[in-house]
Amino acid sequence: MFAFLVAIIFLCGCQQHAQPQSLNKFSIEQLRTVIKGYTGDWRGDTDQNRGVPAPPVQQPIPEDAAIIDLVPPDAISLGELPLAQLVRQRRSLREYSATPLKNEELSFLLWCTQGVSSFEQDGDGNIVKQFRNVPSGGGRNPFETYLIINHVEGIAPGLYRFLPFGHKLCLLHEANDLPGQVQAACYGQPCVGDAAVVFVWTAVPYRTEWKYGYIAHRMIAIEAGHLCQNLYLAAESINAGACALLGYSQKHMDALIRVDGKDEFTIYMATVGKAKKQ
């Protein structure tokens, strides 16, 4: 069901040559098209097969942005609970205490959701192959991770972007009032304003379209679920919790995290924090 809800976003104007339309302009059969996938042979009709260079694997870093260090992946000592236990006890957590996350805990969550396990470069230093901790068709990894940080030890509240190559944070906007703005963009859901961190994943569709053409949008929708499931299990393993969010205003979230809403846009969100003591 999640994949269907996310995938219909693409029918609302995120394809390169389509004009934005209201969902009520489409029939149910048309809305199912993205989930079913392209019925023809899509393999020859891609920019990869036309010899077009692959798009960058990571959005550019603003020249004046401050870079924040995270605990390196090889220094993290978290996540030792048995997988079966995590799966059994995982639940969406919607009520959070004011207890901050530690730098190591945030680093661990980011490593579990978009961490780079290895990569290969060409002679010019361009990354040509990458392997991350969530599956992605063809290793295209079409997501960027933005963070609305509210309570993390040693990190000022504000808007950040995760830099998976280097495993650091890029500060985009330091502010104390962002949790309230995000909560308003999510129709007032209390968990958004109270969370220690709000994960905002964006899709950069062309990364997948370049290789997979007409079936790219189905893949992106499915792969967004991989990210959030890893976050749920990782949060559970550090005695925290997560809550997935699809209830947000597309226009307001894209504006808040400063993406263009066309070639990059919000596709999924999740709150994370420590549970209130009962």
pLDDT digits (tens, 9 = 90+) for 114-159: 999 888 888 877 777 888 999 999 999 999 999 999 999 999 999 9
pLDDT over 50 (residue 31): yes
pLDDT of residue 119: 81
Per DSSP, the three-state class of 138 is helix
Measured in Å, how far apart are the chain's first and last C-alpha atoms?
A: 32
Helices 216-237 and 28-36 pack at an angle, to 10 degrees, of: 70
The DSSP-derived string for 97-159 is -SPPBPHHHHHHHHHHHH-EEEEEE-TTS-EEEEEESS--GGG---EEEEEEESSBTTB-SEE
The alpha carbon of residue 208 and the mean position of all alpha carbons in its chain are separated, in whole angstroms, by 15
Tell me the pTM: 0.89
pLDDT over 70 (residue 17): no
What is the percent of the chain with per-residue pLDDT over 90, rounded to a whole number?
A: 75
pLDDT over 70 (residue 268): yes
pLDDT of residue 278: 65
Single-letter amino acid, residue 221: A
Residue with tokens 């302009």: 25
Average pLDDT over residues 11-16: 42
Average pLDDT over residues 207-216: 94
pLDDT of residue 22: 64
Cα-based distances in Å from 115 to 134, 141, 166: 8, 11, 10
Q: Is the pLDDT higher at 39 or at 82?
A: 82
Per DSSP, the three-state class of 198 is strand
Residues 6+ positions from 37 with CB-CB distance below 8 Å: 214, 215, 218
pLDDT of residue 205: 97
Per DSSP, the three-state class of 134 is coil
pLDDT of residue 137: 93
pLDDT of residue 39: 81
Are 215 and 43 a contacting pair, CB within 8 Å? no
pLDDT of residue 28: 85
pLDDT of residue 16: 42
Angstrom distance (rounded) from CA 2 to CA 201: 15
Chain segment 57-98, per-residue pLDDT in tens: 999 999 989 999 999 999 999 999 999 999 999 999 999 999
Chain segment 249-264, per-residue pLDDT in tens: 999 999 999 999 999 9
Angstrom distance (rounded) from CA 242 to CA 105: 13
pLDDT band at 171 (very low <50, low <70, confident <90, very high): very high
pLDDT band at 20 (very low <50, low <70, confident <90, very high): very low
Angstrom distance (rounded) from CA 269 to CA 146: 9
Q: Would you identify the CATH topology of the domain 2-57+64-273? A: NADH Oxidase (3.40.109)
Pairing state of beta strands 116-121 and 127-132? antiparallel
pLDDT over 50 (residue 35): yes
Angstrom distance (rounded) from CA 114 to CA 104: 15
Cα-based distances in Å from 42 to 52, 123, 171: 16, 31, 39
pLDDT band at 167 (very low <50, low <70, confident <90, very high): very high
93 token code pair = 């957590």
Q: Would you list the domain boundaries of the chain? A: 2-57+64-273
* Kind plus residue range of the DSSP H or E element containing 242: strand 241-245
Q: How many CB atoms lie within 10 A of CB 73?
A: 16
pLDDT of residue 125: 76
pLDDT over 50 (residue 1): no
